[in-house]
Structure 1
């Protein structure tokens, strides 16, 4: 499948990206190569092969959750430039449109 510069322009517009003519040409070529490679992979018969997210067979490598004491408020707010009794102060940023 061939990706044209017009296709790249359409996607760039949807993603709110400003691309140069050189970038459009490069991306069109690269995306066409990717789709060509995927098309080659589609030629292989994968009937009966289970989809995998990892080839290592690992299911869950995360540790179990455990309850631990939280950081004390004084220590957590030690470097805050401004603070209130129970937290730090964030400057209000509201712009008129």
Structure 2
């Protein structure tokens, strides 16, 4: 039946024992990780991105009205971007 065909396909692809949803989730996780790495690499080439810059240094860099920068923080859930600007 259909399950036998699916098992044969999994054997051909080396994924025997994985359920379709597990496979989709694993593929999506790989895609998200690859995209996040690509975006972070692109960000690192921008003049307004400063990586894991301490807050004390941010104060020195944002001095004029309209100035902004993007920095990365280590948060409980992992790394995330933070925007700072002076109005």
Question: Under TM normalisation by the shorter chain, which class is it?
Answer: 0.3 to 0.5
TM-score (norm 2): 0.32
Larger radius of gyration: 1
More helix by share: 2
More strand by share: 2
